[in-house]
């Protein structure tokens, strides 16, 4: 007869069991990868270089803001979701660190985004813990919108280098898989619309200038700031009428609604489609996925 401790271990849920599996992937960054991996455009490529530089410290901020309230989570399913969230975010940070080393070798100043985002996050760390968690839920909302746009925008993906886009597709899928976890924890510790609005405003006031400064800095260091045709084409691709970023801006205010919840916008079908595209036996990342039974 199994002991009670054995039964507990058997019944304990994991992130993978609740649809948030931390996946270990061996991403390839071949030497043949073009430096400007999005449409040969330095301006648009550098936007994603900047995001990749921001991700590792950002992911750590998200994890710490959730970890502070982990003891409040009693529901077994949510506890498993938090574990899956932590695992996915930790691996995101690790893989973007690897990518950032590769980008530095290609000549990008990858110390700049790390330095600037740490300044911004340092300011946000002065907020009360619940407001820090609210800020995390806002930034998770933003990254989920970016993720959905990336997975839905066939035209955008077709302009990206076929190897470099894979890390973004994997990251986007997992952002959608865990998009509600931080918010569900926040609801346990006193979700209020007023605090969410304050956290969103603080995040934008602190981080948007950091984004602009970092993007401009990297372009200048790369001697591409002032390359007018390239700068205009890149800005249009990102912020034009049908630009990659401009298409998500109208949905940012959803976070400010009184009864907002990340799952109100259902992305389960999109997630299912991309799990199959990436991780089925014929999937683009099947051979590079090291823990298929995560």
Q: Kindly give, in sequence order, each residue whose CB lies less than 8 Å from that of residue 253, ignoring residues fewer than 6 positions away.
A: none
Are the beta carbons of 185 and 209 closer than 8 angstroms?
no
pLDDT in tens, 32-54: 999 999 999 999 999 999 999 99
Look up tokens 């979700």; give the residue.
191
Least Cα distance to 216 among 226, 206, 207 occurs for 226
Structure token digits, residue 151 = 């997975």
Look up tokens 């996946």; give the residue.
23
Are the beta carbons of 76 and 6 closer than 8 angstroms?
no
The two most distant CA atoms of the chain are separated, in Å, by 74
pTM: 0.93
Per-residue DSSP letter, 240: S
pLDDT in tens, 91-144: 999 999 999 999 999 999 999 999 999 999 999 999 999 999 999 999 999 999
Burial of 88 from C-beta contacts in 10 A (0-12 / 13-18 / 19+): buried
Are the beta carbons of 88 and 22 closer than 8 angstroms?
yes
Q: Which CATH class is domain 39-288?
A: mainly alpha
pLDDT at 8 over 90: no
Structure token digits, residue 266 = 């259902």
pLDDT at 153 over 70: yes
Size of the chain, expressed as the number of residues it contains: 294
User: What residue spans define the domains of the chain?
Assistant: 39-288
pLDDT at 24 over 90: yes
């Amino acid at each position: 007869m199994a002991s009670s401790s054995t039964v507990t271990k058997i019944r304990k849920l994991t992130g993978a069991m609740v649809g948030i599996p931390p996946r270990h992937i061996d991403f390839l960054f071949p030497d043949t990868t073009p430096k400007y991996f999005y449409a040969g455009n330095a301006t648009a490529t550098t936007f994603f270089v900047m995001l990749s530089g921001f991700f590792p410290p950002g992911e750590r901020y998200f994890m710490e803001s959730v970890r502070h309230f982990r003891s409040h989570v009693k529901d077994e399913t949510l506890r498993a979701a938090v574990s899956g969230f932590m695992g996915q975010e930790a691996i995101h940070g690790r893989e973007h660190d690897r990518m950032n080393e590769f980008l530095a070798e290609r000549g990008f100043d990858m110390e700049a985004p790390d330095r600037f985002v740490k300044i911004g996050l340092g300011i946000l760390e002065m907020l009360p813990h619940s407001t820090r968690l609210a800020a995390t839920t806002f930034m998770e909302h933003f990254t989920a919108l970016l993720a959905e746009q990336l997975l839905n925008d066939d035209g955008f993906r077709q302009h990206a280098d076929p190897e470099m886009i894979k890390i973004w597709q994997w990251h986007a899928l997992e952002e959608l898989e865990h998009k509600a976890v931080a918010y569900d924890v926040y609801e346990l510790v006193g979700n209020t619309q007023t605090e969410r609005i304050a956290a969103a405003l603080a995040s934008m006031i602190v981080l948007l200038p950091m984004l602009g400064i970092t993007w401009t800095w990297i372009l200048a260091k790369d001697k591409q700031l002032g390359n007018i045709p390239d700068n205009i084409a890149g800005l249009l691709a990102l912020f034009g009428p049908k630009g990659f970023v401009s298409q998500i801006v109208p949905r940012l205010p959803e976070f400010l609604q009184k009864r907002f919840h990340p799952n109100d916008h259902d992305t389960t079908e999109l997630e299912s489609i991309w799990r199959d595209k990436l991780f089925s036996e014929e999937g683009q990342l099947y051979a590079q996925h090291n823990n298929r039974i995560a």
